[in-house]
Amino acid sequence: MDINLLKLGFASYLEAKNAENNTEEQYVVENSDASIFVYSDEFKDYLAETLNITEDVGSISIDEILNMEISNGQLIPQDENSENISSFPMSENEIVIGSEGNGNGENLQEQITLLEQQQALFTGILNELLTDENVQGFIDTNGDTTISEEEITAFLQAVSAQDGNAEDISLEDIFGAIESMKENTFEIPSAEEQKIETTQETKNPETVQQPSTNNNGGNYQSYTPSSNGTQVQEKSLDSMTRDELNTELATTQGTLATQQSELSNILNGSTEELQSLQENIDTAYETYQTELAKVDGEMAQQLDDIETRLDAKQAEVDAKEQAIFDQENTVSSCKNTYDNAVATTSNLESILSGLESTDTSELTEEQQANLNSKIQSTKEQLQEAKDAEEEAKTAWEESETKLNTLKEEKTTLDTELSEIQTEKTDFEALLSQKYPEIEQYMTAYNDAKEAYKTAQDTAANAVRTEITQTQNYINNINTAISTVGQKEDIKENYFGAFGDDIVAFANQFIGANEADGSADKFLASWTTSAETPWCAAFVEYVMENSGSYEQLPDWYKDIDNKWYCPNIDNAAEKAGAVINGDEAKAGDIVLFDWDGDGKMDHVGIVVSNENGKLVTIEGNTSNKVAQKEYETDDPRIKYCKTT
């Protein structure tokens, strides 16, 4: 739930405090960041006195936290359903203190104290701490500006240690840790001091056993492959310009090339660690062959033949496996190219439809010529886009066909490899029975080969994971570039009045909703439509991304926080932009005061206003974007002129 319950609680606290001070400044949920609501002593008191949430309200176990997935420095609760707070009143006008008589404060208290939301509650608090710059200064013990899972684990232990118990984390622990941070006495324990036990596999999954060069096959030493992979540092792409996206693409492609080079070195065994292991294999095999030749030269030759065929077939299997991996990334890239091409075609079709349906009755001769030119240009662009879409579809289908062929070929190679391995196993069983004194050399050699293969596979798979992540990020960048291009096409090719442009752009989002996440695009990347009231965010997205942004009035452009309906209302009032219902036109803003208390609760865009009937398009209406119809003179409605 992204700590919205506490944020909403803090918003109500601020509103009550403002009322006492008779101040006009407005506070909303978005203002309630970690530095405000976590570090506030007053809010701590508010939790206890008004919401009846004390420091011992509950706790979450360290084991439960460590079992969560950690993604981009954030904890992900195991039970996604615990984030569902749809029954909680989310609109701003419903955030009130319980003492004011409508019981919402008590509902808030009940919601927060529900046990099924406890995990999400603590996860939200901890994630707010993890993203705070001051807290990160404590977590980042090695100073590399990157927060690792190990550093997060150590931080959580240090937080839980506030009351001397490292098994769980409570609100008391969190407040205690914050106080220590304020006093600069908070310390992260060293690895030796940590009380949280982790298995050897968890701490270092790449450790394998390396046979020593002794020939008795009984001594081993620990070997850990190097981990010098170059991981891509993903960034938020939503606010980047096309030039910034192209720069990010070039940088990421450079990272991908480095990763692919590293993988090549691992696969051909040219890394220092693998060369060392290969020397062990060579030494062990030479000893094995020498000792076997002493007792049976014919079987020594037979062994050499089997090993030669086995190594050759293993090399074929490995090469085919790598080819499959490369082709899977190619398929992903081709699919991404096709999806972007489909989006571009659809966008141009919408633009052409808008141009061809333009009312030309009041156009000048020059404007008519300009319109005809744009129509012709868009038709040409559309044909090129359709051709590109068809080519992309063919490339995608061919890449999938090639991938399936590679997989079939590998299946055949796997069978052939298995047959040779069975032959070797049978041969060694016979050898052990006939010459038991050879078995120790056989074991040392096989262990050396196994150590090499394990180290190589572990290192290769780690880099392959990084390559896949990088390829996915490149796909996201390409999609972002395509999206920017579509927006620029709209701005360049749309020919019509400001209001018509706004409505045409907004109409394409009808049906976007919370359930499938399609409404998330209207919000910043740090929240979702299911967590935040988004009617005003939808209006802002449409106004700022249509082709007519430059024509927007300054009173709207200059609003600091356009996600809060009262802010829109206040700005329009100050600018004298409030108009009568019969003056409202397509593209104007319409505000709604559902309770009649003078505080605006909802906002939409005028689609049409004729014969006393108002048609609007609104976000966050029944959790989706939809058209609605009202009486033009509905007393709950206020109109703001943008056209």
Pair 194, 279 in one domain: no
* Domain membership flag for residue 230: no
Predicted local distance difference test score (pLDDT) of residue 15: 55
Instruction: Name the residue among 160, 162, 139 with its Cα closest to residue 70.
Output: 139
Find tokens 């990088």 and name the residue.
470
User: Which segments of 188-233 are extended strands (E)?
Assistant: 208-211, 220-223
The residue type found at 310 is: L
* Domain membership flag for residue 228: no
What would the mean pLDDT of 540-548 be, rounded to a whole number? 80
Whole-angstrom CA distances from 41 to 46, 49, 105, 113, 136 are: 9, 12, 20, 20, 21
3-state secondary structure of 610: strand
Pair 186, 131 in one domain: yes
Predicted local distance difference test score (pLDDT) of residue 135: 72
**Start-to-end Cα distance in the chain:** 38
The residue type found at 595 is: D
Contact 523, 535 (CB under 8 A): no
* Domain membership flag for residue 216: no
pLDDT at 603 over 50: yes
- Which of the residue ranges 13-17, 371-375, 524-528, 634-638 would you say has the lowest mean pLDDT? 13-17
* Domain membership flag for residue 266: yes
* Domain membership flag for residue 605: yes
DSSP letters along 458-510, please?
A: HHHHHHHHHHHHHHHHHHHHHHHHHHHHHHHHHHHH--S-HHHHHHHHHHTTT
- Among the candidates 458, 492, 526, a domain finishes at 492
Predicted local distance difference test score (pLDDT) of residue 600: 93
Q: Please, what is the Cα angle at 52 between 50 and 56, to 5 degrees?
A: 140
- Among the candidates 476, 492, 508, a domain finishes at 492
In the chain, the largest separation of any two C-alpha atoms, in whole Å, equals 107
Q: What is the CATH number of the domain that holds 309?
A: 1.10.287
- Among the candidates 170, 200, 230, a domain finishes at 200
What would the mean pLDDT of 150-170 be, rounded to a whole number? 71
| Mean residue pLDDT across the chain | 76
Predicted local distance difference test score (pLDDT) of residue 68: 65
Pair 171, 260 in one domain: no
* Domain membership flag for residue 221: no
Q: For residue 154, what are its two tokens? A: 């150590």
How many domains are contained in the chain? 3
pLDDT at 358 over 60: yes
Find tokens 């003078």 and name the residue.
598
What would the mean pLDDT of 408-421 be, rounded to a whole number? 95
pLDDT at 510 over 80: yes
Contact 207, 200 (CB under 8 A): yes
- Which of the residue ranges 34-43, 119-128, 216-225 would you say has the lowest mean pLDDT? 216-225
Pair 517, 581 in one domain: yes
3-state secondary structure of 195: coil
Pair 488, 568 in one domain: no
Write out pLDDT tens, residues 292-304: 999 999 999 999 9
pLDDT at 308 over 90: yes
Spatial CB neighbours of 150, under 8 Å, sequence gap ≥ 6: none
Q: For residue 88, what are its two tokens? A: 């909680």
pLDDT at 131 over 90: no
Q: How far apart are CA 33 and CA 144, in angstroms?
A: 25
Pair 255, 390 in one domain: yes
Question: How many Cα atoms are found within 13 Å in the side-chain-facing hemisphere of 203?
Answer: 7
Instruction: Name the residue among 477, 580, 452, 80 with its Cα closest to residue 241.
Output: 477
Give phi and psi for 630, each to the nearest 5.
-140, 170
Predicted local distance difference test score (pLDDT) of residue 204: 38
pLDDT at 492 over 50: yes
Percent of residues, the chain, with pLDDT higher than 70: 66
Find tokens 């949430």 and name the residue.
53
Predicted local distance difference test score (pLDDT) of residue 203: 32
What would the mean pLDDT of 536-557 be, rounded to a whole number? 83
pLDDT at 573 over 90: yes
Place 377 in a pLDDT band, splitting at 50, 70 and 90.
confident
The 3-class SS string of 373-412 reads HHHHHHHHHHHHHHHHHHHHHHHHHHHHHHHHHHHHHHHH
Q: Is the dihedral of CA 635, 640, 641, 643 positive or negative?
A: negative
What would the mean pLDDT of 389-398 be, rounded to a whole number? 95
- Which of the residue ranges 36-40, 175-179, 208-212, 638-642 would you say has the lowest mean pLDDT? 208-212
User: Which segments of 44-179 are extended strands (E)?
Assistant: 59-61, 69-71, 74-76, 168-170
Percent of residues, the chain, with pLDDT higher than 90: 38
552 C-beta neighbours (distance < 10 Å), count: 17
Predicted local distance difference test score (pLDDT) of residue 36: 45
Instruction: Name the residue among 561, 542, 559 with its Cα closest to residue 498.
Output: 542
Place 42 in a pLDDT band, splitting at 50, 70 and 90.
low
358 C-beta neighbours (distance < 10 Å), count: 18
Pair 394, 277 in one domain: yes
Pair 164, 276 in one domain: no
Higher-confidence residue of 82 and 545: namely 545
Contact 93, 597 (CB under 8 A): yes
Pair 541, 441 in one domain: no
Domain residues for the domain of 506 are 499-640
Q: What is the CATH number of the domain that holds 560?
A: 3.90.1720
* Domain membership flag for residue 8: yes
pLDDT at 305 over 90: yes
The residue type found at 505 is: F
Pair 481, 574 in one domain: no
Q: Indicate the length of the chain as a whole number.
A: 643
Q: How many helices (H) and strands (E) does the chain have?
A: 19, 12
Predicted local distance difference test score (pLDDT) of residue 106: 45
3-state secondary structure of 210: strand
- Which of the residue ranges 47-56, 257-266, 387-396, 464-473 would you say has the lowest mean pLDDT? 47-56
Supply the DSSP symbol for 596.
Answer: S
Spatial CB neighbours of 117, under 8 Å, sequence gap ≥ 6: 1, 5, 82, 85, 111
Find tokens 């989006």 and name the residue.
343
Write out pLDDT tens, residues 220-250: 333 344 444 567 777 778 768 888 888 999 9
Predicted local distance difference test score (pLDDT) of residue 177: 76
What would the mean pLDDT of 262-278 be, rounded to a whole number? 93
pLDDT at 435 over 80: yes
* Domain membership flag for residue 276: yes
323 C-beta neighbours (distance < 10 Å), count: 16
Q: How far apart are CA 520 and CA 535, in angstroms?
A: 12
List, edge to edge, every strand of the sheet that includes 578-579: 578-579, 637-640, 589-592, 602-610, 613-621, 624-631
Predicted local distance difference test score (pLDDT) of residue 52: 55
Pair 84, 165 in one domain: yes
What would the mean pLDDT of 33-50 be, rounded to a whole number? 54
Pair 483, 542 in one domain: no
